[in-house]
Amino acid sequence: KGEPGDSYVLIAAGVVDVSDDGRTLRTCGPGDGVGEIALLRTVPRTATVTAQTYVEGYSIDAPTFLSAVAGPAAAAAAEAVASTRLQHSRTAP
């Protein structure tokens, strides 16, 4: 949390917890990704990601990620995910 966002990480294997100030916001596993909010909104990382098991993933640099979501449909879908996750982080117990 708080660091510059320079990549998106797609989880290939394992489990991570995404948390903010000690509150678990969600648990992610294979097929899930983390890091899109910082890239889409050009803000520092909004949460901390902690491995709960051994994790393998693919790191996608910011320019590649942003070009992949540059089309209108992809951009809208990525923004919807980011908005939902930000809203959830504000209302999580």
> Is 1 among the domain residues?
no
In a domain, 37, yes or no: yes
Measured distance CA(49)–CA(29) in Å, rounded:
12
**Total structural domains within the chain:** 1
Number of Cβ within a 10 Å radius of residue 21: 9
Arithmetic mean of pLDDT, 75-82: 79
Note down the domain range covering 61: 7-91
Is there a domain that residue 2 lies in? Answer: no
Give pLDDT, residue 87.
78
Domain assignment present for 74: yes
d(CA 18, CA 48): 6
pLDDT band at 13; cut points 50, 70, 90: very high
Top pLDDT among 9 and 82 is at 9
Tell me whether residue 49 is in a domain.
Answer: yes
pLDDT tens digits along 33-50 = 999 889 988 999 999 999
pLDDT value at residue 92:
60
CATH of the domain at 15: 2.60.120.10
Please give the model's pTM, rounded to 2 decimal places.
0.77
